[in-house]
Amino acid sequence: MTAQGHCDPRFDRVREVFDDNFAQGEELGAAFAVYLRGEPVVDLWGGVADRHTGRPWEPETPVLTYSCTKAVTATVLLWLAERGLVDLRAPVAKVWPEFAAHGKDAITVERLLTHEAGLPVVEQDVPVGEFEDQPAIAARLAGQAPLWTPGTAHGYHALTFGFLTGEVIRRVTGATAGEIVAREIAGPRGLDLWLGAPDDVAARAARMSAGERMRGTDDSPDSPDSPRFPGSPGSPGSSGIPGSPGAPAAPASWREVARDLAEAVADKGSLMNRALGNPSPSKLKGGGNHPVIMRAGWPAMGMVATARGLAGFYRDLVAGEIVARETLRDGVRTRVSGRDRVMLIDSAFGLGYMRPSMYFLTPRKGAETAFGHTGLGGSLGLGDPRRGLAMAYTMNRMVTTGPGALRAYRLASAVYDCLS
């Protein structure tokens, strides 16, 4: 396959990497977009949006981006904080009184954003009937006790991040996070980005497919949803990743990390599996492909977007057009780092944004200034204020192990190499 679209000659290496991902059999369909100081320098797409029908991937093809959503939800809270509608350092219970139950009265909104609240799991099984009732799921979390003392450790709140922050947003505005995104962020800027996709958008979205190593994790062969696989381009789910072309050097403790991960993946009751598995899209035929999931707009993993739309979000964010540059600078400042209680590898977070770590592999040249968020299976949104850089990678072949897990990392590395 030859990539379609535009690529500034300065970034020819990016096109080569994009094409190579297809040549190596690591893609079905994908898109990659880059803005440099507001100007589009890369806008590539190719492959198929649906492997069953052969429907081609078009420049306007949206797709579920999973946890790339979290950066957009975090930005909504920063936007509200700038307007004095929410105090990030105030207790959550100030705007959500029921949340104070079981000793949670001192947990601040900031602790929700930094994954320190100790609420990474919805303990009660969430039925399909509640999938589009975010307040009901949030109420379940309000009635729980933290799994660790809030503020003493961080652990990836893979799904609960959205229900917790989304309820804070609803309490102070009367609107969902998705409604704020549509009204204040995506809509005014013409971004193809939805947190709660209309049915017509869901109908033309690319259909996610599981990578080879993920097959058999669900009754439906096309269901990409599994609570057993970390969702990051750098997820060390395979001992083969460190030796992959373009991969960063493995840490000295790699063997121990791989062992711990393997044990957690195999244990259905592990904190990792519990955090990633409830509510489970796999209860619906097709998992994340089901219109209910796209329409529900879960603020942790429900965003549907094109690569152009997600890259455009980061373009406007780093330019100070969504929140002030000072607000963003504080928002991306690393608050927590080190071993993640849930994912068992090193992670680092600002106020909802990922910072470079083992869980957010970033080219060395962007290690000090890059921020963003990955999504289950390989998607990526990244901004770099120092360079005026914004990029997004979307795809529909879910891969979390082996060389294919590094598709976004290789593309980002090529971008940084071209800049120099």
Band (pLDDT 50/70/90 cuts) for residue 93 is: very high
Q: What is the DSSP string of 99-139?
A: GGGGGTTT-BHHHHHTT-SS-----SPPPGGGTT-HHHHHH
In tens, the pLDDT along 4-25 reads: 999 999 999 999 999 999 999 9
What does the pLDDT look like over 238-248, one tens digit per residue? 222 333 334 44
Percent of the chain surpassing pLDDT 90 = 84
Fold adopted by 4-71+188-419: Beta-lactamase (3.40.710)
306 Cβ contact list (under 8 Å, min separation 6): 31, 33, 59, 60, 61, 62, 63, 192, 193, 394
Tell me the whole-structure pTM to 2 decimals: 0.91
- 255 vs 279, which has greater pLDDT? 279
Report which secondary-structure segment, H or E, holds 173. helix 160-173
Mean pLDDT of 112-138: 98
> Quick one: which of 47, 54, 11, 55 has its CA closest to 26?
47
Number of residues that make up the chain: 420
Which tens digit of pLDDT belongs to each residue from 273-288? 999 999 999 999 999 9
- For 349-403, the pLDDT digits (tens) are 999 999 999 999 999 999 999 999 999 999 999 999 999 999 999 999 998 777 7
Res 265 pLDDT > 50: yes
Of 170-179, 310-319, 399-408, minimum mean pLDDT range: 399-408
